[in-house]
Amino acid sequence: MVTSHPERFGEAYWTFFAARVAPHLPSRPVMIDVGCGPGLFLQDLGQRYPSATLYGYDVTRAMIAYGQQLSWPGAKPTLMVHDVATQSLPHDAGGVHLVSMSSVLHLVDEPLPVLAEIRRVLTEGGVFLLHDWIRQPLERYLAWRRERLGERAPEYLRRAFRLFPVHNKYTTEDWQWLLAEAGLAIRDQTQLRDSHQIFVTTSAASA
Ligand SMILES: C[S@@+](CC[C@H](N)C(=O)[O-])C[C@H]1O[C@@H](n2cnc3c(N)ncnc32)[C@H](O)[C@@H]1O
């Protein structure tokens, strides 16, 4: 996650963010990264929005510990061990300008209650930025692991077949359906990599 961060959140990602997400954010936004992992995306946000109030939640203690030892350009974020599948977000309704979830929601057994909770905390016109895996044909997924991740036998196939059902759970259309079902309207979407789709959404009530 740490080594692949610069590739996953590279120039193309931030160009898209600047054009499609930033115009919906105030200059002093409240931002949450749900399933923040080692906190590097929050650190990127902190560099771009030094006046932001940042929160990162992750179920894995080691991830939160990693984020806590990073250096932060603005105010230090609140980083907390938190299971979004079983706990409400510790925020009042309507107070968050950006909720981001990157490569996390596919891991949650029941995504709809999580999406409802995200919608609850968004300000009117606030953005939920979903960035997650989309289904690929098996042959293309195996080639991607081999060529892009450089994985090699013997562990390559064992790992690839274990992860295939995890990473290839939802199609783009499934994500669109889930978002609509949760009352989130899609403002924009793009695919910067074969494996992932990005959706810029807002509460359907404020769309
Ligand atoms: C593939 S990593 C992505 C991390 C980060 N968002 C990124 O893109 O680098 C998935 C993260 O989601 C976290 N996660 C999984 N289930 C979670 C849950 N129910 N609540 C909070 N975090 C969760 C994991 O601990 C892990 O750090």
Distance from residue 198's CA to the centre of ligand 1 (Å): 16
Q: In the beta sheet, which residues pair with residue 190?
A: 198
Longest dimension (CA), the chain: 51
207 lines ligand 1 (CB under 6 A): no
Of ligand 1's listed atoms, the one at least distance from the Cα of 114 is: 19
Rounded CA gap, 108 and 134, in Å? 15
Q: Cα(42)–Cα(80) distance, rounded to whole angstroms?
A: 13
Residue to substitute in 58, 117, 130 for testing ligand 1 pocket (most ligand atoms within 8 angstroms of CB): 58
Distance separating alpha carbons of residues 145 and 134, to the nearest angstrom: 15
- Residue 37, phi-psi category: left (phi > 0), alpha (psi -120 to 50), beta (remainder): left
Ligand 1 contact via 107 beta carbon (within 6 Å): yes
Give distance in angstroms: CA of 34 to centre of ligand 1.
7
In angstroms, the CA 53 to CA 49 distance is 9
- The CB of 83 under 6 Å from ligand 1? The reply is yes
Give the distance (Å) from ligand 1 centre to CA of residue 35: 4
Extract the runs of DSSP E, i.e. beta strands, from the chain.
30-34, 53-58, 78-81, 96-102, 122-133, 184-193, 196-203
With CA atoms as reference, report the closest residue to 115 among 66, 71, 196, 106. Answer: 106
Cα 66 to middle of ligand 1, angstroms: 13
Q: Is the dihedral of CA 1, 82, 166, 11 positive or negative?
A: negative
* Whole-number Å distance between alpha carbons of 15 and 50: 18
The tens place of each residue's pLDDT in the chain, 207 residues long, gives 788 888 889 999 999 999 999 999 999 999 999 999 999 999 999 999 999 999 999 999 999 999 999 998 788 999 999 999 999 999 999 999 999 999 999 999 999 999 999 999 999 999 999 999 999 999 999 998 998 888 887 888 999 999 999 999 999 999 999 999 999 999 999 999 889 999 999 999 887
Test site for ligand 1: of 43, 102, 104, most ligand atoms within 8 A of the Cβ = 104
Q: How far is the CA of 176 from the centre of ligand 1 (A)?
A: 21
Structure token digits, residue 114: 């999580």
Q: Which atom of ligand 1 lies nearest, measured to the CA of 85?
A: 19
Tell me the per-residue pLDDT of 135-158, one tens digit each, with 9 for 90 and over: 999 999 999 899 888 888 788 899
